[in-house]
Chain A
Amino acid sequence: MQIQSGKRRWGSWLLVGTAGLALLSLAVLPTPAQAPAYKAPKTKDGKPNLNGIWQAMNEANWDIRPHAASQGPVYALGAAYSAPAGLGVVESGEIPYKPEAAAKQKQNYTDRLKLDPEVKCYMGGVPRSTYMPYPFQIIQGTGNVMIVYEYAGAVRVINMGAPTKAPADSWMGWSNGHWEGESLVVDVTSLNDQTWFDRAGNWHSDQLHVVERYTAIGPDALQYEATIDDPKVFTRPWKMSMPLYRRMEKNAQLLEYKCVEFAEEVLYGHLRKQPLKGDSK
């Protein structure tokens, strides 16, 4: 018995060690995508210049995992709003859900029209806001860095000074950033449990801790990496990564997508005095 429990103890240490190593490798080792030693032009205060309007060009907002094309949740919308296939952005392909958490994701997917915070115009949270199908803009100040998202007008101001603690949980979380060589590294905590990773119902709890890295890989592309840790939901930390592309059209600019008015029928339509007849035209 003693030997067995001793074995177990060693086993668990081994596990912790492996997990630690895995964490370390996530945090320290450059990924192949980062390997090309591109160096971004510098701002006048000597930092890699990440200013710009950026957007993901992938299918991660449908499902961050590898997925085949599938029928959308509203038959009336036909092929126009069904889900295109995507290679996924999760580095190992699979999200290491605990068994009960995996079951909840499946239920979320079934009920996605009712539950997806995107349908309700709720702020996208981190990291989802990065790869929703809308541009976002990095305004790299000489002090803090502001990231403004077109979707829902969400915004984060990344504190680049001494790290501070969040007063409470919020939709976009609390961001403390610093520079590591060519990368802007942002530690995001105090995210609430109301946001999802995608339209497929991939989810997290309020224990979510995200470490983001933004690294220029060319004049008009960034590599975005997010290490996801949430011990309530996942068996280990995991990582997603994807390129982000500069919006290059003449006078490219962030427009408004203040989507509240587009979600009011979904949220409050059942409380109307006179129900609306038919769909919007």
Chain B
Amino acid sequence: MSTIIDGKPATGPLPEESTESPLGPSPLQRFLRDYFSNPVAIGALLVLLTVILIAVFAPTISPQNPYDLGQVDIMDSRLPPGSESMGGMPFWLGTDGAGRDMLSAIFYGLRTSLGVGVMSGVIALLIGMSVGLTAAYFGGRVDNLIMRVVDVQLSFPAILVALILLAVLGKGIDKIIVALVVVQWAYYARTVRASALVERRREYVEAATCLALSHRRIVFRHLLPNCLPPLIVVGTLQTAHAIALEATLSFLGIGLPITEPSLGLLISNGFEYMLSGSYWISFFPGIALLVTIVSINLVGDQLRDVLNPRLER
């Protein structure tokens, strides 16, 4: 009766508010709304997306291929920013000692740096996640042993572990990825274990156990999705760490070989010219590295605030 009080038929178009689900905004909507409430985080996300796009499309958007000898002229070497090549091509950020356009070299370097950082992050995440879930789900001796190893490893600083591994393994892109994975996996394992230990005691896991589901199904379909939020946060911040660490190791000359120039290697190459005043060869790759790391860190900080259940808004 009440629906036709002001003459509208009950079957008419619904009022605007009730197009939303009766449960309120979905978790994804709430997440997006919370994330975009902070202008700094929006800016950081835009910068990060730009950096990623540059890295992905580096070969297409670079003014030249800095590693194609046909396009690089030694006569153009060490030109300051803003000068032009013999052929009239502008060098916005100057050129390095071999006459390469710094802007192009930075685009290619970003590609290598991000690639190594993300790849090692993903592998470390998968390994750490499996190990952490195993430790939390089975507990007892398995848990004890795994966490002992994690504790011992985390008591050494990352750079020392990486130095030991690279002294042992030698140079190469595969070796630095191995070193970065070994450095990072323990952080993921510890994070996943901590949240899985809490989740394991929840009713839904008990219900799944009562339904006699297999261990595997409970761990991967029930436990894992509920441990993801802290994992995403740690993953973002760890990727920034990995990129910085790779740059440091490449700078020391024990990371990537010269054939895979990352930002760290570009900075290292500019080191020798800096004392004679050619600052731009080291300066601009460093700025690119800084922008990348800061934007990832800011996005990670905002993700932590948004995904933290204790800060329910």
Do A and B make up one complex?
A: no
Chain A residues at the B interface, C-beta cutoff of 8 Å: none
